[in-house]
Amino acid sequence: MTFETEDRAALRESVRSLLAKHSDSAAVRKAINSPDGYDPDLWSRLVEQVGVAALAIPEEYDGSVRRGPKLMSCSKNSVAR
């Protein structure tokens, strides 16, 4: 069972806002078709502004246990429409 908190809501909104600004359908298609298969600039923004690199690191090692909201937002917003 997952409970909504202010922190989770704020985190989800941060990811959504960043992706809305920098990941429209044209940008997603361009990234998918690039040699890397992703947008390095967008990934840098996600790491620097939101801290997504800490998602895979357990909290006891200064990572984040709030994986669900970030990953769901990323998945939802990175689908090319």
DSSP string, 9-78: HHHHHHHHHHHHHH--HHHHHHHHTSSSSS-HHHHHHIIIII-GGGGGS-GGGT--S-HHHHHHHHHHHT
Range of the domain at 33: 7-77
How sure is the predictor about 74, in pLDDT bands with cuts at 50, 70 and 90? low
Determine if the pTM surpasses 0.75.
Answer: no
Is residue 37 a part of any domain in this protein? yes
Mean pLDDT across 67-80: 48
Give the model confidence (pLDDT) of 20-72 as tens digits. Answer: 999 999 999 999 999 999 999 999 999 998 888 876 777 777 776 554 444 54
* Structural domains counted in the chain: 1
Is residue 2 a part of any domain in this protein? no
Higher pLDDT, 4 or 1: 4
